[in-house]
Amino acid sequence: MSAPSSVDGLEARMAPRTSAPVRRRPAWHPATVASVAQETPDARRIVLDVPTWPGNDPGQHLDLRLTAEDGYQASRSYSIASAGEGTQVTLAVDRVEGGEVSPFLVDAIEVGDALDVHGPLGGWFVWHPGRSERPVQLIAGGSGIVPLLPMVTAHAEADDPAPFRLLYATRTPDDVFFREELDGALRAHAPLEVTHVYSRRAPEGSDAPVGRLTRAALEQAVLPPADGALVYVCGSTPFVEQVLRWLGELGHDVSDVRAERFGGA
């Protein structure tokens, strides 16, 4: 999935942040793994029970801390794939080979395991339904969809009239995160449009071109600069940097774009 600097967490390093306050004070909370499920061949969905969790806004993240039997601790930041007032928190973690935390979370963590989370964190890379009629353009690369999904679902659940578009670049259809949730949002809410770009293999029977995202494909898929959309971009650092360059060349105000990057460690 990207202020988080993490193995697979999402890191916001771009652009000065606005002064929008975070509604809930972050704190450390004990958590228990409630369920795990394979999300893609290299990623796992993990649902945590966090009894003291205060809720979080769409787009926020948390720090996750693991403690070994010998007392050794390791922490990473992960974007949150859920939002709202509940005490369950959903993560989707992509395995980074050679990483210290993600291989354990993807391959070994089990229901009932205990860990700690710190959050909710971040007040800049968020979106709230009902606060603006401004169109929204989401651009995700791979696991960069994680903080954007809660925006999509909040938009659909609130029946928000703001136009929403998502451009989602993955290697193959098997690498798409949250397909059921995205399909459900499309069925529920007309102002949502989703464009998939596949770099290695398209769905069977599709005549969509296969290859990495290009400037021409980006221009065709995203809302035009004249629409004044609020743009969110999330993905690996090279992906985000390339998208930002293209957006600027196409006439978008890049200083108004909210971007998060992720990398491995």
Count of Cβ atoms closer than 10 Å to residue 228 Cβ: 13
pLDDT tens string 190-238:
689 999 999 999 999 888 889 999 999 999 999 999 999 999 999 999 9
Among residues 214, 200, 31, 208, which one has the least CA distance to residue 115? 31
- Apex 251 CA angle, 249 and 256, nearest 5: 105
Does this model's pTM top 0.95?
Answer: no
Does residue 48 sit in helix, strand or coil?
Answer: strand
Residue 20: its pLDDT value, please?
Answer: 44
User: What mean pLDDT is reported for the chain?
Assistant: 90
pLDDT reading at 1 higher than 80: no
Q: Check if the beta carbon of residue 176 is closer than 8 Å to that of residue 152.
A: no
CA dihedral sign, ordered 85, 30, 147, 92: negative
pLDDT digits (tens, 9 = 90+) for 136-168: 999 999 999 999 999 999 999 999 999 999 999
Asked if residue 28 has pLDDT above 70, the reply is yes
Query: In 10 A of CB 91, how many CB atoms?
Result: 24
